[in-house]
Amino acid sequence: MLNIKIEGIPYQVEEGLTILEAAKACGYEIPSLCTFNHGECNVGSCRVCLVEATGARGLVASCVYPVAEGMEIRIGSPAAVEARRHSVELLLSNHNKNCQQCDKNGHCELLYVAQLTGARDDAFAGEHSETFVDRLAPGLTRDTSKCILCGRCVERCKNAHGLGILGFENRGFNVIVSPAENRSFADSPCIQCGQCVNVCPTGALMEHSEIDKIDAAFKAGKHVIAQAAPAVRAALGEEFGYPIGTPVTGKMAAAMRRLGFERVYDVNFGADLTIMEEGTELLHRLTEGGVLPMITSCSPGWINYAEYNYGDLLPHLSSCKSPHQMQGAIIKHWWAKQNNIDPKDVFVVSVMPCVAKKFEKEREQEKVDGIPDVDAVITTRELARMIKRSGMLFTRLPEEDWDQDIMGDYTGAGVIFGVTGGVMEAALRTVYFKLTGKEHDPIELTAVRGHEAGIREASIDINGTTVNVAIASGMKSAKVLLDEIRAGKSKYHFIEIMGCPGGCINGGGQPYVRPVFLPNEPDNILDIYKEKRAQALYSEDERQKVRQSHNNPQIIELYEKFLGEPNSHLSHKLLHTAYAARVGFNDVE
Amino acid sequence: MGHLKTEAVEKIREICGRYKDENTPLMMILSDIQNEYGYIPLEVQEIVSEETGISVAEIYGVVTFYSFFSLTPKGRFVIGCCLGTACYVKGAQQVIDKFSEELKIKPGETTEDGMFTLDALRCIGACGIAPAVSINGKVYPKMTVSQVREIIAQQYLIVEKEKEAMGGDHA
């Protein structure tokens, strides 16, 4: 332990901490900006966290300067306060201050430190660097006029995926953070997962909002149907002040109904349908010598990664569409028919924890007879924006159920799709039944559970046959499994891969987790939020009476009345898709 | 992509291989490629990325940070005008402006015939002979505006002499 003083008061702190961390441990929050998540990004570039410290020459950036024995730190000295204000004013001098139009408003850390430090407008008015705006990619947008060059996104892309799509380029006043050659995300091998959006402190990186499309569909008198993914309910509450990990399923259904959607469905129904199709596909591959291991295909970020980097392994991917695409196809080609509506007049909105889904729905391979399965995808954050602008007080909404007219009923298996390992567990519950004729006891297969990135593996004994499975989330982990397959050394039969570390609960469209804006959450919230959100889903699974997809009565009915059987000709037409290798840096003129 | 000849791809891989045991090989690899080809376009950076595991964005960042590296082909003669403090106060701006005027290109550009590239350099450490101009490594001291035309003419002479040395046979 080291003896230090902050504002003249003695404290004992651990060795090896930065001044910022030591001060936090002693109960001080030094205004800071570029630093993030235990030094995941720590370039000390923004100079917002300057303090006085004995033994140092001048003021020091507390996010990178280590504490030392006997150090006396002054956070509130006039010189430190003024220096921090100047740092923010310098950032603002080259910042596009159209805050009222910025979708990051309310979550913007730059605006927060500007208020905290008392930064004056145009204290250093002068030239602005050239602005580049990228709105070509369906998933996410980039606006350099909002970028403060902190590098958080650069680090997150590398840490989550080993990708490094974003980097600093050029020099001096011309520096920007962008894909190589200042390309659009659409013209680089970006998988559009949105992890960079989740860490961007300002509005420089945002999801590509589609709220306008929904407004236009309502105006045009379409039958606007909404469906929400499992992971959304585990995080939407955070936007309305609920503690992280509070499931808000009932209020969410109520809110969506009040937004005017003609039906509000749970994508869990589509998840159950996915299990029927994907489970059957796995059984065929296992028993008929198909390509193994089979890899899940629910995560469009992962699909993008595979198409860019592992074109040779695409036959390993399940041909199943992701749950919301399947459900969209069923809404347009079955629900519409049952209700005597032309599918062209139906507008399907998916509420997703994901920005890559915005890209996925645009794929040619996701259309049936030229009709897209899904017309608009909004993130959990965009849904919160729609709810807020509607005037609803979310916390006072009643708990309501999802629509379950001729579809929409769901099981616990569908709910857990939102967490890494969930698709695997849901599939195994059904595959086990199909092979043995009885349900797995206990229902839970906890061996595949977890909430962090990294690889988990398990072996399940089914009627004397051992099925080896592995689960990875984040492309850095997935790469290990994929390289094994490429080298012919994979021992697995079935692999689940999710694009975002931790799975959909940590998707690129989920509410921002920023400790400065979460005063009631514990200090280590960045370490435990994924676990909390995952728990929200596992608890909903436990509350369901039916917990295996093959026991969903409406799914059984759908096959009896419409699809025939899993992997039937009609199933293939509506519910399955195809993949194609893509070139990362395609030629652009 | 896929515009590179197989030999070029092999050569770039070979260059990357030279620094396999280095902890931070990128600058050395890029220097060798710059010297070998005169520029480092994106498709070459992609190969370096594959070989080293360093992301294309990071490589691109390094290439665009250092003025020594170039994304586009440079001319036969690279005229570097030092605009460091000492050269600047001794009139370097007028010198580079004169080169610009004579060659009809802006700093950073290359003449259409591929003969000259004009670069503005930071201090090249030749303050004692300011203003200094460096052409393909040869330093010209105490440059004045009136010398510019003569120096350009000298470069053409160098090319002429090379042609003669090769026997004048260009058929």
> What share of residues in chain A are helix, strand, coil (percent, to 5)?
40, 15, 40
> Which residues 81-120 of B are in CB contact (within 8 Å) with A?
none
Q: Is residue B55 part of a domain?
A: yes
The CATH code of the domain that includes B111 is 3.40.30.10
Considering the domain architecture, whether residues B89 and B37 belong to the same structural domain is answered as no
What tokens does B121 get?
């350099």
Type of residue numbered B45? Q
Cβ within 8 Å, pair B61-A181: no
At residue B1, the pLDDT reads: 46
Evaluate whether B116 touches B155 at the Cβ level (below 8 Å): yes
Instruction: Give, rounded to a whole angstrom, the gap between the first and last alpha carbons of chain A.
Output: 59
Evaluate whether A90 touches A61 at the Cβ level (below 8 Å): no
Considering the domain architecture, whether residues B149 and B111 belong to the same structural domain is answered as yes
Chain A residues contacting B via beta carbons under 8 Å = 154, 158, 163-171, 178-181, 583-587
What band does A121 get if pLDDT is binned at 50, 70 and 90?
confident
pLDDT 10s digits, A64-109? 999 999 999 999 999 999 999 999 999 999 999 999 999 999 999 9
What band does A440 get if pLDDT is binned at 50, 70 and 90?
confident
Residue A545, H or E segment? none
Which sign, positive or negative, has the C-alpha torsion A502, A506, A507, A513? negative
How many CA atoms within 13 Å lie on the side-chain side of A326? 33
A496 — phi, psi (to 5°)? -105, 125
Contacts for A220 with CB less than 8 Å, ≥ 6 apart: none
Distance of CA B124 to the CA centre of its chain: 14
Give the whole-angstrom CA distance, residue A243 versus residue A536.
Answer: 11
Distance of CA A118 to the CA centre of its chain: 34
Optimal mutation site among A171, A305, A309, interface B, most CBs of chain B within 10 A: A171
Cβ within 8 Å, pair B57-A171: no
Q: Is residue B1 part of a domain?
A: no
Which sign, positive or negative, has the C-alpha torsion A68, A70, A73, A79? negative
Q: Could you write out the three-class secondary structure of chain B?
A: CCCCCHHHHHHHHHHHHHCCCCCCCHHHHHHHHHHHHCCCCHHHHHHHHHHHCCCHHHHHHHHHHCCCCCCCCCCCEEEEEECCHHHHHCCHHHHHHHHHHHHCCCCCCECCCCCEEEEEECCCCCHHHCCCEEECCEEECCCCHHHHHHHHHHHHHHHHHHHHHCCCCCC
**Partners of residue B57 in chain A, C-beta under 8 Å:** 154, 164-167, 169, 178-180
At residue A45, the pLDDT reads: 87
SS3 A107: coil
What tokens does A358 get?
């915005």
- Own/partner contacts of A98-106, CB < 8 Å, gap of 24 or more, are A102/A146, A102/A202, A102/A203, A103/A203, A103/A206, A103/A209, A103/A385, A104/A146, A104/A200, A104/A202, A104/A203, A104/A206, A105/A203
Q: Nearest residue of B to residue A166 by CA position?
A: B57
Considering the domain architecture, whether residues B57 and B81 belong to the same structural domain is answered as no
Considering the domain architecture, whether residues B53 and B119 belong to the same structural domain is answered as no
At residue A451, the pLDDT reads: 67
Contacts for A350 with CB less than 8 Å, ≥ 6 apart: A226, A227, A228, A229, A267, A324, A328, A357, A361, A374, A376, A377, A378
Q: Is B70 on the interface with A (CB under 8 A)?
A: no
**Count of H-run helices and E-run strands, chain A:** 20, 20
B155 — phi, psi (to 5°)? -65, -40
Chain A nearest-CA distance from B149, in A, is: 32
A135-144, A252-261, A314-323, A542-551: the lowest-pLDDT one: A542-551
Considering the domain architecture, whether residues B49 and B82 belong to the same structural domain is answered as no
Nearest to A164 among B42, B46, B57 (CB): B57
Cβ within 8 Å, pair B57-A583: no
Q: Is B56 on the interface with A (CB under 8 A)?
A: yes
A448 — phi, psi (to 5°)? -95, 0
Q: Which CATH number fits domain A129-208: 3.30.70.20, 3.20.20.70, 1.10.3720.10, 3.90.76.10?
A: 3.30.70.20
List the domain boundaries for chain A. 2-92, 129-208, 212-575
Q: Domains in chain B: how many in total?
A: 2
A9 — phi, psi (to 5°)? -100, 130
Which position has the token pair 């994929």? A482
At residue B171, the pLDDT reads: 46
Neighbour-count burial of A37, counting CB atoms closer than 10 A to its CB (0-12 exposed, 13-18 middle, 19+ buried): middle
Considering the domain architecture, whether residues B159 and B96 belong to the same structural domain is answered as yes
Considering the domain architecture, whether residues B38 and B115 belong to the same structural domain is answered as no
What band does A115 get if pLDDT is binned at 50, 70 and 90?
very high
- Whether the per-residue pLDDT at A191 is higher than 70: the answer is yes
At residue A582, the pLDDT reads: 94
Evaluate whether A314 touches A462 at the Cβ level (below 8 Å): no
Cβ within 8 Å, pair A154-B57: yes
Q: Which CATH number fits domain A212-575: 3.40.50.1970, 3.40.50.150, 3.50.50.60, 3.40.950.10?
A: 3.40.950.10
Q: Nearest residue of A to residue B41 by CA position?
A: A181
Q: Is residue B29 part of a domain?
A: yes
Which sign, positive or negative, has the C-alpha torsion A216, A219, A220, A226? positive
What band does A284 get if pLDDT is binned at 50, 70 and 90?
very high
Considering the domain architecture, whether residues B10 and B44 belong to the same structural domain is answered as yes
Give the whole-angstrom CA distance, residue A178 versus residue A169.
Answer: 7
pLDDT 10s digits, A307-358? 999 999 999 999 999 999 999 999 999 999 999 999 999 999 999 999 999 9
Cβ within 8 Å, pair B57-A179: yes
pLDDT in tens, chain B (171 residues): 457 889 999 999 999 999 999 999 999 999 999 988 889 999 999 999 999 999 999 999 999 998 889 998 888 999 999 999 999 999 999 999 999 999 999 998 999 998 999 999 888 889 999 999 999 889 999 999 999 999 999 999 998 998 888 875 554
Q: Is residue B71 part of a domain?
A: no
Which sign, positive or negative, has the C-alpha torsion A366, A372, A376, A380? negative
Give the whole-angstrom CA distance, residue A235 versus residue A506.
Answer: 9
How many CA atoms within 13 Å lie on the side-chain side of A429? 29
Considering the domain architecture, whether residues B60 and B118 belong to the same structural domain is answered as no
ipTM comes to 0.88
The angle, 0 to 180 degrees and rounded to 10, between the axes of the packed helices A109-117 and A78-93 is 140
Nearest to B61 among A163, A169, A584 (CB): A169
Q: Is B136 on the interface with A (CB under 8 A)?
A: no
A497: left (phi over 0), alpha (psi -120 to 50) or beta: beta
Nearest to A171 among B54, B60, B64 (CB): B64
Q: Nearest residue of A to residue B56 by CA position?
A: A180
Chain A nearest-CA distance from B90, in A, is: 25
- Whether the per-residue pLDDT at A589 is higher than 90: the answer is no
**Under CATH, which number does the domain A2-92 receive?**
3.10.20.740
Cβ within 8 Å, pair A154-B45: no
Chain A nearest-CA distance from B72, in A, is: 12
What average pLDDT does the segment A165-174 reach?
94
Q: Is B42 on the interface with A (CB under 8 A)?
A: yes
A63 — phi, psi (to 5°)? -75, -20
Considering the domain architecture, whether residues B56 and B105 belong to the same structural domain is answered as no
Q: Is B64 on the interface with A (CB under 8 A)?
A: yes
Q: Is residue B83 part of a domain?
A: yes
pLDDT 10s digits, A490-548? 999 999 999 999 999 999 999 999 988 998 999 889 999 999 999 999 998 888 889 99
Considering the domain architecture, whether residues B90 and B146 belong to the same structural domain is answered as yes
Evaluate whether B108 touches B118 at the Cβ level (below 8 Å): yes
**Partners of residue A166 in chain B, C-beta under 8 Å:** 57
- Whether the per-residue pLDDT at A234 is higher than 70: the answer is yes
pLDDT 10s digits, A534-587? 999 999 888 888 999 999 999 999 999 999 999 999 999 999 999 999 998 877
Give the whole-angstrom CA distance, residue A208 versus residue A354.
Answer: 11
Q: Nearest residue of B to residue A182 by CA position?
A: B57
> Average pLDDT over chain A, rounded to whole?
94
Q: Is residue B170 part of a domain?
A: no
Nearest to B57 among A166, A583, A586 (CB): A166
Cβ within 8 Å, pair B64-A584: no
User: Alpha helices of A437-474 — where are they, by DSSP H?
Assistant: none
Q: A92-125 burial, b if ≥16 CB within 10 A, otherwise e?
A: bbbbbeebeebbbeebbbbbbbbebbebeeeeee
CB pairs under 8 A between A and B: 47
Q: Is residue B72 part of a domain?
A: no
Give the whole-angstrom CA distance, residue B80 versus residue B136.
Answer: 8
Domain that residue B36 falls in: 6-65
Nearest to A180 among B1, B42, B65 (CB): B42
Considering the domain architecture, whether residues B60 and B88 belong to the same structural domain is answered as no
**Partners of residue B65 in chain A, C-beta under 8 Å:** 168-171
Cβ within 8 Å, pair A169-B64: yes
Q: Is B72 on the interface with A (CB under 8 A)?
A: no
